[in-house]
Amino acid sequence: MHIRFTKMQGAGNDFVVLDETQGSLGLTEAHYRFLADRHFGVGADQILTVRPSPAEGVDFEYVIHNADGGEVEQCGNGSRCFARFVYDKGLTQKTTIRVQTMSGVIAPQLMADGRVTVDMGAPVLDAPRVPFDTQGLQPALRHQAQLWPLALQAPAPAQVDVVVVSMGNPHAVQLVDDVDQFAVAVVGPQVERHVRFPQRVNAGFLQVQNRSQARLRVYERGTGETLACGTGACAAVVAGIRQGLLDARVDVQTRGGLLTIAWEGGAQDHVFMTGPATTVFEGQIEIPDAL
């Protein structure tokens, strides 16, 4: 089977984008794993699929598969690339696009400077809804945030304290002194698959530089560490604001680029993310029949 694709990136978080507006490609989890493979396929953190509107008042459906082939609820950097793709391909002339995801409707907006702003909705702060199993745990309180203790195994620290947030997908954010020096490759996999997170979790490592600037690394569920994670940046800023450490607008420096996150701090206030979305190249690939 031959399929056409577009390779895109948002702050270094890279994607294979597929157009299914004219019909389903019929891909399986194995096909998505093949496309994401950096040696045998195209190579990507996630596969993004554009599908026709599923309902009145919505322009497109947005489907996301991680590099392990599993479908996930949300991808912030991907949503910006999704918006750039449908506009550049002439699938819409709108600059504000309503998109159905597994976790709800989002509305990316193309900006005059080439960046894209996405209304990511209100964060979910209730731990069981993230979902996170709180049974038998007692959180520490820091300002308005609950810090939940997670027991880990060597060579990781015996315990880390995390703020749990959902941005349509689950996140566990911990403060670190220096993201460059922190053992993300050791702690990240243990947090991602921790038994307390029944759907696994994206592990975020937040370094607060001042009240309007932060640095972030994220070990993503089903992918591993990526150069950037849009929902991870949103969750990290929410966690920082809840702890009284950050202001309402924060520039988050990831390893792949800069994301600007804005949140007024109320439980019903929406989180807004602004960042780049760039087409890298287009091509055609043959997917083996037997995978």
Cα separations (Å) of 189 from 71, 120, 142, 155, 201?
Answer: 19, 26, 26, 12, 10
Q: Which residue is catalytic, options 18, 44, 47, 75?
A: 75
Indicate the Cα dihedral angle 195, 198, 202, 203, nearest 10°.
-20
Give the CA angle between residues 214, 77, 132 to the nearest 5°. Answer: 75
Q: Which residue is catalytic, options 47, 229, 235, 246?
A: 229
Residue found under tokens 């050791």: 186
Q: Do residues 285 and 3 lie in contact, with contact meaning Cβ atoms separated by under 8 Å?
A: yes
Q: Do residues 84 and 90 lie in contact, with contact meaning Cβ atoms separated by under 8 Å?
A: no
Please state whether beta strands 71-72 and 140-142 pair in parallel, antiparallel, or not at all (unpaired): unpaired
Reading the block at residue 76, the tokens are 């912030």
Identify whether 234 is a catalytic site residue.
no
Q: Catalytic positions, please? A: 75, 229
